[in-house]
Amino acid sequence: MSNSEKIKDKLEKDKVNSVREELFEFDIIGMNCNGCAASIKTYIEKLDGILKVDINFANESGEIIFNSEKFSKLKIVSEIRKLGYEVSGEDEEYISEQLKKKNLKDQRLKIIVSASLSLIIMILSMKDHIHLPEFLHLPEKILLPVLTILSTVVIFWCGAKFIKGAWNSLRSLSFDMNTLISLGSLSAYFYSLIITINIVFDLNISALATSSEVYYETGAMIITFILIGNYLESVMKSKTQTSVQKLKDLQAKVVNVIRDGNEMFIPFKKVRVNDIVLIKTGDKIPVDGKIIEGYCVVDESAMTGESLPVEKSTGDDLMSGTVLRNGFVKMQAVLVVSDTMLSKIISLVKNASSSKPKIQKLADKISSVFVPIVILISIFTFAYWHLIAGAAFDRSLLFAVSVLIIACPCALGLASPIAIVIGVGRAAENGILFNNADAIENLKNIDTVCFDKTGTLTTGKMSVKNIYTRNGFSEYELMKYIYSVEKLSSHPIAKSVKLHAIDNNVLPYNKVSDFKNESGFGVSALVNDKKVLIGNEELFRKNNINFPEIFYNSGYTNLFVSIDNKISGIIEIEDKLKDNAANVIKELKSKKLNIYMITGDSENAAGKTATELGIKNYSFKTLPDEKEQIISKLQKKNKNVAMIGDGINDAPSLARANVGIAVGSGQDIAIDSADVIFVKDDLTNIMKSIVISEKTVRIIKQNFFWAFFYNAVAIPLAAGLFVPYGIYISPVMAAMLMAFSDVVTVIGNSLRLKYVKLDK
């Protein structure tokens, strides 16, 4: 690369880096199918200043990243509204709900009008086949204009959204369900209009038709049935999104705070860090924080799945989204607005619901060519019946229209998203959060489960069991040195040592400097100008400190203490197994899964835990990067590995695993560190998450099967393939089948996920 090219490349990079990116999240009301979402995406992507667009039909939402120097949120809203859709921003949840209600109300009105007029059109069109009062036997030159006016209202007002959707898809050079519906209904309408003009004005254009029959009722009934299907789809789709709505309902809208000595009520989004929040019986806890005064009983079931209320007092943490059932507390806000646990969970559930698993990619490819293929089949159907089979023009047209109407591209597009929305929501109700849709698909394929030990299989609530001293130190004096160093660490073991020191009234030295935390090894510092090391054997070997001849191999975690490079004591740490750990391991083994335990603990402590749980494969004294290497080796042996850890220290191994599962509780969870997060520190969620994964993927595959099966049977049937056997479908029957295909084959099947039993 020449110097000029390098300079140009740098300028281009600087230009890209200087772009002021902004994210706009919003709801879209009025989409009929996946094609609508695709049309919006294609249209918006072409606008200058738009960097990335994601439109999701299943949960009726969108995300756009744009250059704020060239574009604005108001401009985005304006452009989408030009396409005929309503938009509400991320801060307009109430407006969004009202727009959705208005949209459903408008749909109901148009269904009533369309059904009523279609019924009248049907009756008038069948005057020669049913007994009607004399005054309804209108002359043909009056009847046909009446039918024209009535069907015009149905097709161009009641069915306006289909025509508008077809026009939008044409502008973006894509084709969707709206295209098929519009082509089908308009073909019947304009054919009938030509016949009407021919008869009413006595034009005698016999070449245009071989009969005087009109098919206004066909065009009108097509619109009516599709409107009914769309309405049922909207209602059932709203039921799939109840989990996110339930989470949103947990957010307090108004918060009672004390700021600058004044008590006031402010909106949730105005709460600041360190505000004092007042919470009384029955209140939703609005933000994450720490109790500074009072006592309460909290219902955390909505967030963790824990059915029993939890008692909280001064010093305890409170989590947003939970409800104070009894008591009164003052809480200092720690995490507010989008940083709260509830906000992160809502975001996580929405993002996972919007993402697509790998299995959907094939369907997307098929959907992209589905409508053009159907149009070609329709043209071929007309050509065959009229030019080869010698059928009348109008009969051939009806076969072609039936093909257009009966085809259902939406079923393919909805097969995965609807199931994902319900599966992710069902998981969230049980305190299980999927970070992406791929995690749902991958989890069912795992054959190997690797566990971290401390805090995962054990409680993580460590306690000092024994302290042994050497080199003439008394236990109290040794603890002064230990406490002086450990008070600067936030490690769980350090917390247990600090609590032990406080319980024994040990006072730390004040003169502490040069504190260092060596991840996976231990800590060190200068205390009263003496070098103090506290950690595992590796830390001491690194510092060339000799061990005594006798080690304490009790099966507990051993921490060694050196002062001025001499072993001066050993701390024995006890960590109990979780109550359900043994049963969970047993259940996983019953599913023929390989179980591994990977821990940084000592050989004896690791061996004791492995023996108690019946785990044959385990490693000890394993550093974070070595955990990742173990998982990588298992994957090279074609193992699908799930790694289960605390989401913080195990980040590299969680990222390396096919599925990383972070087990935590409350604010301690690292939301972005894993594919799956357990809000509640409960290992039984492992089995629940596997069940959700298996059931969701099974439903997705069933949805694809029914979507393909429906189209594979329906299209040949509509094309007249079985006419020799006396079986054929009219356009009206095709409209009925198409209208209910999504509701029955995809959405109805997916809703079964809401009632799947997760406990086995």
Q: What angle do the packed helices 242-249 and 216-240 form, to 10 degrees?
A: 50
DSSP 99-149: HHHHHHHHHHHHHHHHHHHHHHHHHHHTTTTS---GGG---HHHHHHHHHH
- Number of helices (H) and strands (E) in the chain: give both, helices first: 25, 24
**Looking at per-residue confidence, does 549 or 203 come out higher?**
203
Residue 376 confidence (pLDDT) above 90? yes
Residue pair 477/508 in contact (Cβ under 8 Å)? The answer is: no
Measured distance CA(455)–CA(601) in Å, rounded: 12
- For residues 548-569, give the mean pLDDT: 72
Residue 666 confidence (pLDDT) above 50? no
Amino acid at 370: F
- For residues 64-89, give the mean pLDDT: 86
CATH number for 323: 2.70.150.10
**Which range scores top for mean pLDDT: 348-362, 467-481, 730-744?**
467-481
Record the tokens describing residue 120, joined without a space.
């009248």
Amino acid at 104: L
What pLDDT sits at residue 360? 67
**Looking at per-residue confidence, does 261 or 155 come out higher?**
155
What pLDDT sits at residue 448? 94
What pLDDT sits at residue 15? 47
CA distances from 392 to 196, 398, 400, 404, 465 (A): 18, 10, 12, 19, 94
The model's confidence at residue 133, banded by pLDDT at 50, 70 and 90, is low
Record the tokens describing residue 712, joined without a space.
């594979």
Among 378, 354, 9, residue whose Cα is nearest residue 181: 378
Residue 549 confidence (pLDDT) above 60? no
Q: Is 752 exposed, middle or buried (0-12, 13-18, 19+ CB in 10 A)?
A: middle
What share of the chain in percent tops pLDDT 70?
86
Residue 518, in any domain of the structure: yes
The domain of 514 spans: 463-574
- What 3-state class would DSSP assign to 536? coil
Q: How many CB atoms lie under 10 A from the CB of residue 502?
A: 12
Residue 151 confidence (pLDDT) above 90? yes
How long a stretch of residues is the chain?
760
The model's confidence at residue 93, banded by pLDDT at 50, 70 and 90, is low
What share of the chain in percent tops pLDDT 90?
16
610-642 pLDDT, tens digit per residue, is 888 999 999 988 877 788 899 999 999 999 999
Beta strands in 579-680 (DSSP E): 594-598, 617-619, 641-645, 659-663, 676-678
What pLDDT sits at residue 624? 75
Among 473, 462, 667, 739, residue whose Cα is nearest residue 577: 462
Q: Is the dihedral of CA 208, 211, 217, 219 positive or negative?
A: negative
Record the tokens describing residue 730, joined without a space.
């009219």
What pLDDT sits at residue 522? 85
Q: Bridge-partner residues for 717, per DSSP?
A: none
The model's confidence at residue 760, banded by pLDDT at 50, 70 and 90, is low
Q: How far is CA 28 from the centre of its chain?
A: 17
Question: To the nearest whole number, what is the mean pLDDT of the chain?
Answer: 82
Final residue before a domain boundary, out of 301, 319, 348: 348
Residue pair 219/156 in contact (Cβ under 8 Å)? The answer is: no
Residue 156, in any domain of the structure: no
Final residue before a domain boundary, out of 536, 558, 574: 574
Residue 11 confidence (pLDDT) above 50? no
Record the tokens describing residue 81, joined without a space.
């509204």
CATH number for 563: 3.40.1110.10
Residue 247, in any domain of the structure: no
Q: What is the DSSP letter of 231?
A: H
Please report where in the chains the tokens 């009607």 appear, as a residue. 132
In the residue annotation, 447 being an active-site residue is answered as: no
What pLDDT sits at residue 16? 46
The model's confidence at residue 399, banded by pLDDT at 50, 70 and 90, is very high
The model's confidence at residue 247, banded by pLDDT at 50, 70 and 90, is confident
Amino acid at 305: G
Residue 630, in any domain of the structure: no
Q: Structurally, how many domains does the chain consist of?
A: 2
- For residues 542-548, give the mean pLDDT: 76
Q: How many CB atoms lie under 10 A from the CB of residue 543?
A: 14
Helix (H) or strand (E) holding 94: helix 93-125
Residue 174, in any domain of the structure: no
**Looking at per-residue confidence, does 292 or 261 come out higher?**
292
Measured distance CA(13)–CA(89) in Å, rounded: 31
Final residue before a domain boundary, out of 348, 367, 392: 348
Residue 236, in any domain of the structure: no
What pLDDT sits at residue 239? 64
Residue 150 confidence (pLDDT) above 90? yes
- For residues 83-111, give the mean pLDDT: 80
What pLDDT sits at residue 427? 85
157-161, 305-309, 625-629, 737-741: lowest mean pLDDT where?
305-309
Helix (H) or strand (E) holding 333: strand 323-335
What pLDDT sits at residue 2? 44
Measured distance CA(596)–CA(254) in Å, rounded: 48
What pLDDT sits at residue 8? 46
- For residues 53-65, give the mean pLDDT: 84
DSSP 398-432: HHHHHHHHH--HHHHHHHHHHHHHHHHHHHHHTTE
Residue 301 confidence (pLDDT) above 90? no
The model's confidence at residue 430, banded by pLDDT at 50, 70 and 90, is confident
Residue pair 609/453 in contact (Cβ under 8 Å)? The answer is: yes
Q: How far is CA 499 from the centre of its chain?
A: 40
- What 3-state class would DSSP assign to 329? strand
**Which range scores top for mean pLDDT: 16-20, 199-203, 477-481, 494-498?**
477-481
Measured distance CA(159)–CA(735) in Å, rounded: 13
Residue 404, in any domain of the structure: no
The model's confidence at residue 455, banded by pLDDT at 50, 70 and 90, is confident
**Looking at per-residue confidence, does 343 or 478 come out higher?**
478
Alpha helices in 305-408 (DSSP H): 341-354, 358-383, 393-406
- What 3-state class would DSSP assign to 9? helix
- For residues 364-393, give the mean pLDDT: 87
Residue 673 confidence (pLDDT) above 80? no
From the candidates 283, 288, 394, 452, give the one annotated as an active-site residue.
452
Residue 428, in any domain of the structure: no
What pLDDT sits at residue 3? 43
